[in-house]
Amino acid sequence: MVNGGVSREALIESFSKIREDIVRLNREMLELKKEQKELLLENSRLKNVAANSNLDEEMISRIVADAVSKVNTKKPKEDKILKKIKRNKKSLIKNRIITLAMAKELSLSEIKESIVDEEELCSKATFYRYVEKLISQEKISMVEIDERKIVVSHKY
């Protein structure tokens, strides 16, 4: 034991870890210095290109603004369709629930999996609110067939 209750082996181990950390940090620092040199070279090359080109700042700004505007624009028809879908989303999801109930003998969890998990049309809580609303409006109901509860649509 050395003063302070720490063994010689513990001190050796601690200094060994410190030495490993220093070696690792030195390697990282060398890599960063190499990267910095490469970036400085690239920067000087770009400055030379800019100095030798006949593009002024205003021309460059126009080119960049034009490129950005082309990337960010949506087609007006797409905007109208998206607005229409958002406005009618609730009824579309309810109709989708009814359609699935009419098409196949699916359980509520299977319909939820389709609408919420696969198609991502709404959240799970919203889905169950829509189902409760459809049940209260008597558009769908739960029926047990062969010990399995399925959703049945009342639409014909």
The tens place of each residue's pLDDT in the chain, 156 residues long, gives 555 677 888 888 888 888 988 988 889 899 889 989 988 888 888 777 767 766 667 777 777 777 777 665 556 666 677 777 777 788 888 988 888 888 888 888 899 998 899 888 889 999 999 999 999 998 888 888 888 888 888 764
Report how far residue 122's alpha carbon sits from residue 119's, in angstroms, rounded to the nearest whole number: 8
In a domain, 60, yes or no: yes
3-class secondary structure, 154: coil
- Identity at 51, one-letter amino acid code: A
118 inside domain:
yes
Residue type, 90: K
Nearest to 98 by CA among 133, 139, 130: 139
What is the rounded CA–CA span in Å between residue 3 and residue 37? 48
Torsional sign, CA 94, 95, 96, 100: positive
Q: Identify whether residues 59 and 102 lie together within a single domain.
A: no
Q: Phi and psi (nearest 5°) for 145? A: -130, 125
Is residue 148 domain-shared with residue 84, that is, in the same domain? yes
Which domain covers residue 24, as residue numbers? 8-67
